[in-house]
């Protein structure tokens, strides 16, 4: 992810000017100025960030909510632990069927994802009606059938999916219909095949529980079909920032980091359960629906509706799924190596934004080749962009097809393309590991800047070190920033500085060899900060414990390492 108006060395004097006025400050100064507002900067945009009073409000609000969250997490931790304690174990007398956990075990988002099974494939058949013209409310209508193929990883009596803000109409498991029932008391028995849906906005817990009959044994596959739908609005994440299925007047921008996919389909909404995807998205004739991967077939138009078919056969984390709808023009091209590039560009960008976007997207093939040379081959079957004239305030690296708000500037495009390796092929195992996404994507901007004859990575590193030691920028242990710290400036810029300092410390040969090993060892999977440290110690032959403690775990400015 990259907030609009925030990055980047490369964008300085380029595309970002279209979004928030020309940005001519050196990188370090811009980071310094944007830093105090953190999450506010991410969604309020460049102009408001420059207003000191807005920054102060941002800090105050963030701290207040943090306190409330801390209390909430303590409560939720207790719930998850008790669920974990009942995890299935096969006893000497055969299977013991128990409930799958209501979360994947992520301390920042305890109810994101679920336990007890492993999803193989989602097939999402969605019909979407965008809002009527203003002054009608900004509310769309979505109806869907999600077909989910999963394998049980324990003997399952019940299991959960995450689904937020939409209603379930019907569920079947292996073609057997389940009946909707009232949520039972904890520990209470429920007769027969059943389901219940508990949506608790205050606890940020949106759990659809399914009790299949017959029960599912460990290792067995099941096909779960959920028919669902409802009004779509403009959901927000834990920081109050738009995400998920964000309803726009002309369609929807679909960007779900960290756990917003549950706002548009029933899902195990955590990156530790990657799956493949197929999409059939039906929208009013004239609208274009764009998802991940490649078109499975030509769109079909009938009775004023057009169905778009997409196939995403590469394993994919739920937060990287998109199915954006808008007034897009689709453009097909390919790299010299034959990788398909599909760009969906809104017809209604401003002339300046359209020009910036054209110039940046024209560099995608070159950026992919540059990153392939530095690291390993591009990890997926296609690439490209979705550039919407609306904004959620940031860009997101949705797999194979990043989403951009209003404009795609050069720095942001190389950032999102780098995420296809760093974040998408190798995903953070816990949300606390997000610096591995943003540090690498920012460092790719630095490498691209140097390669394009602009500021060198060393110069950009030094501009970060120019930030005074008493600046709040340094008050962040980036290996555990807390759920409100995922998108603070330090995650990006201190993360990139960590990588550059590491490269200087162990030398280019070990640094790039370890980077390649990192991408190969954890391809199509997830990994932790500790896994990262292990690979780089292995390849450097050095004990880097003190280095990583200083850069990743100490909330102050590094002085020696």
Stretch that binds Zn ion, among 1-9, 119-127, 200-208, 333-341 (CB under 5 A): 1-9
Q: Give the integer Cα–Cα distance in Å for 415 and 46.
A: 18
Q: Which is nearer to Zn ion, 207 or 429 (CB)?
A: 429
Q: Characterize the bridge pairing of strands 305-316 and 2-3.
A: unpaired
Nearer Cβ to Zn ion (410/438): 438
Binding of Zn ion at residue 414 (CB under 5 A)? no
Question: Rounded to whole angstroms, how far apart are CA atoms 78 and 68?
Answer: 16
- Based on the shown chain and the rule CB under 5 A, indicate whether residue 252 belongs to the binding site for Zn ion: no
Residues in the chain: 561
**Least CB distance from residue 438 to Zn ion, whole Å?**
5
Nearer to Zn ion (CB atom), residue 2 or residue 527: 2
Site for Zn ion contains 519 (CB under 5 A)? no
Residue 552 binding Zn ion, by CB under 5 A: no
Please say which residue, 3 or 178, places its beta carbon nearer to Zn ion.
3
Least distance in Å: CB of 153 to Zn ion? 31
Residue 63 CB neighbours (<10 A): 10
Under the criterion CB under 5 A, does residue 434 sit at the interface with Zn ion? no
Strand 156-162 relative to strand 98-99: parallel, antiparallel, unpaired? parallel
Q: Residue 311 CB, nearest distance to Zn ion (Å)?
A: 26
DSSP letter at 555? S
Which residue(s) pair with 426 in the sheet?
Answer: 422, 525
Sign of the dihedral defined by the CA atoms of residues 323, 329, 333, 335, in that order: negative
The 3-state DSSP class for residue 110 equals coil
Is 1 among the residues that bind Zn ion (CB under 5 A)?
yes
CB-wise, 1 or 367, nearer to Zn ion? 1
**Size, binding site for Zn ion by CB under 5 A:** 4
Q: Is 477 helix (H, G, I), strand (E, B) or coil?
A: coil
Please state the closest distance from residue 397 (CB atom) to Zn ion, in A.
Answer: 6
Distance (Å, rounded) from C-alpha 522 to C-alpha 528? Answer: 10
Other Cβ atoms closer than 10 A to 94: 8
Q: Which member of 10, 367, 418, 441 binds Zn ion (CB under 5 A)?
A: 441
For the segment 86-115, give every residue that binds Zn ion (CB under 5 A). Answer: none
Nearest-5° Cα angle at 50, 46 to 53: 125
CA–CA dist 488, 181 (Å, integer) = 43
CB of 478 to Zn ion, least distance (A): 14
Residue closer to Zn ion, measured from CB, 268 or 420: 420
User: What is the DSSP secondary structure assignment for residue 553, as one 8-state letter?
Assistant: I
If one asks whether residue 11 binds Zn ion (CB under 5 A), the answer comes out as: no
Nearer to Zn ion (CB atom), residue 14 or residue 415: 415
Question: Minimal distance in Å, beta carbon 9 to Zn ion?
Answer: 14
Say if CB 292 and CB 316 are below 8 A apart: yes
Distance CA 121, CA 224 (A): 11
Q: Which of 2, 72, 408, 418 binds Zn ion (CB under 5 A)?
A: 2
Question: Applying CB under 5 A, which part among 234-242, 274-282, 341-349, 439-447 lies near Zn ion?
Answer: 439-447
Give residues in contact with Zn ion (CB under 5 A): 1-2, 438, 441
């Amino acid at each position: 992810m990259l907030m609009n108006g925030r990055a980047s060395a490369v964008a300085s004097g380029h595309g970002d000017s279209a979004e928030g006025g020309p940005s001519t400050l050196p990188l370090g100064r811009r980071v310094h100025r944007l830093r105090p507002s953190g999450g506010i900067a991410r969604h309020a945009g460049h102009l408001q960030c420059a207003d000191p009073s807005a920054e102060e409000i941002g800090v105050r609000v963030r701290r207040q909510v943090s306190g409330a969250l801390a209390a909430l997490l303590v409560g939720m931790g207790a719930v998850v632990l008790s669920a974990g304690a009942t995890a299935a174990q096969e006893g000497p007398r055969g299977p013991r069927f128990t409930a799958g956990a209501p979360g994947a075990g992520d301390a920042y988002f305890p109810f994101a994802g679920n336990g007890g099974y492993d999803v193989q494939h989602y097939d999402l058949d969605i019909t979407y009606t965008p809002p009527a013209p203003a002054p009608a409310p900004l509310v769309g209508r979505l109806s869907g059938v999600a077909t989910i193929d999963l394998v049980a990883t324990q003997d399952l009596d019940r299991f959960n999916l995450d689904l937020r803000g939409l209603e379930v109409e019907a569920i079947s498991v292996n073609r057997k219909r389940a009946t909707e029932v009232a949520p039972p008391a904890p520990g209470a028995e429920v007769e027969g095949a059943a389901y219940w849906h508990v949506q608790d906005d205050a606890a940020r817990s949106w759990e659809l529980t399914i009790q299949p009959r017959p029960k599912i044994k460990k290792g067995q596959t099941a096909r779960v079909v959920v028919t669902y739908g409802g009004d779509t609005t403009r959901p927000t994440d834990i920081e109050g920032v738009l995400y998920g299925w964000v309803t726009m007047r002309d369609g929807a921008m679909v960007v779900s980091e960290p756990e917003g996919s549950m706002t548009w389909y029933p899902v195990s909404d955590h990156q530790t359960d990657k799956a493949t995807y197929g999409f059939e998205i039906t929208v009013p004739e004239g609208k274009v629906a764009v998802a991940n991967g490649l078109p499975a077939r030509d769109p079909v138009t009938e009775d004023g509706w057009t169905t778009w078919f997409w196939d995403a056969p590469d394993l994919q984390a739920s937060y990287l799924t998109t199915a954006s709808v808008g007034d897009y023009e689709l453009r097909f091209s390919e790299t010299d190596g034959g990788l398909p590039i599909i760009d969906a560009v809104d017809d209604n960008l401003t002339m300046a934004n359209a020009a910036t976007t054209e110039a940046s997207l024209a560099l995608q093939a070159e950026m992919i080749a540059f990153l392939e040379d530095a690291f390993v081959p591009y990890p997926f079957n296609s690439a490209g962009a979705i550039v919407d004239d609306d904004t959620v305030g940031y860009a997101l690296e949705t797999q194979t097809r990043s989403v951009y708000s209003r404009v795609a500037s050069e720095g942001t495009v190389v950032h999102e393309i780098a995420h296809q390796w760093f974040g998408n092929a190798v995903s953070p195992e816990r949300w606390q590991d997000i610096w591995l996404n943003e540090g690498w994507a920012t460092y790719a901007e630095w490498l691209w800047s140097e390669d394009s004859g602009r500021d060198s990575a060393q110069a950009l590193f030094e501009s970060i070190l120019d930030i005074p030691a008493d600046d709040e920028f340094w008050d962040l242990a980036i290996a555990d920033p807390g759920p409100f710290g995922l998108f603070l400036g330090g995650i990006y810029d201190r993360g990139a500085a960590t990588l550059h300092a590491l490269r200087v410390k162990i030398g280019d040969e070990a640094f790039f060899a370890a980077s390649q090993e990192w991408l190969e060892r954890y391809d199509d999977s997830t990994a932790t900060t500790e896994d990262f440290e292990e690979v780089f110690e292995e390849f450097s032959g050095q004990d880097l414990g003190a280095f990583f403690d200083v850069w990743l775990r100490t909330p102050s400015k590094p002085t020696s390492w």
